[in-house]
């Protein structure tokens, strides 16, 4: 009987530890990544993301960074994105009076093994290939930007 209680306790503890780490989302298409951000309630998407393929945004209607809602409010991405050596392709933003980038904000995020391809371009008052804004602890490993980035104020 004691063994069953101990195993039950360990099982509950393991479940709580896994839940506190955030969800892991496997993403195969640009639309799946867009939908992941549309489903956020709150100011931060805290989830781990693994890309399973290159993401081609050329057939999407996205014209603002991921995490930007219809009221121009910004949901920060906080988690680990493993690009799995895949590329972001065909993402073009021309937001002369606003921000342009893949994400509107990165906060305490880790990005690994990702390429922002040369078919992407970002033009905005503030612009960045990966993100418009960044705060907290950010770690980028093996991240390459081949996109054209231009802006007026803060450009990176």
pLDDT tens by residue, 74-84: 899 999 999 99
pLDDT tens for each residue of 31-67: 999 999 987 888 899 999 999 999 999 999 898 999 9
Give the pair of three-digit tokens for residue 125: 């008052």
Asked if 107 and 137 count as a contact pair (C-beta separation under 8 A), the reply is no
* Residue 131 bridge partners (DSSP): 103
Whole-angstrom distance, CA of residue 9 vs CA of residue 80: 29
Q: Is the pTM of this model over 0.75?
A: yes
Whole-angstrom distance, CA of residue 129 vs CA of residue 100: 8
């Amino acid at each position: 009987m004691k063994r069953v209680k101990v195993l039950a306790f360990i099982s509950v503890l393991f479940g709580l530890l896994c839940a506190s780490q955030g969800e892991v989302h496997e993403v195969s298409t640009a639309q799946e990544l867009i939908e992941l951000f549309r489903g956020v309630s709150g100011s931060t998407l805290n989830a781990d993301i693994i890309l399973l393929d290159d993401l081609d945004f050329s057939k999407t209607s996205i014209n603002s960074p991921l995490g930007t809602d219809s009221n121009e409010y910004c949901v920060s991405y906080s988690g680990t994105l493993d690009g799995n050596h895949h590329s972001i392709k065909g993402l073009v933003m021309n937001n002369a009076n606003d921000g342009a980038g893949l994400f509107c904000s990165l906060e305490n995020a880790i990005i690994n093994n990702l390429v922002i391809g040369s078919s992407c371009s970002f033009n905005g008052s503030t612009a960045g290939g990966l993100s418009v804004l960044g705060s907290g602890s950010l770690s980028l490993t093996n991240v390459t930007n081949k996109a054209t980035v231009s802006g007026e104020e803060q450009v990176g």
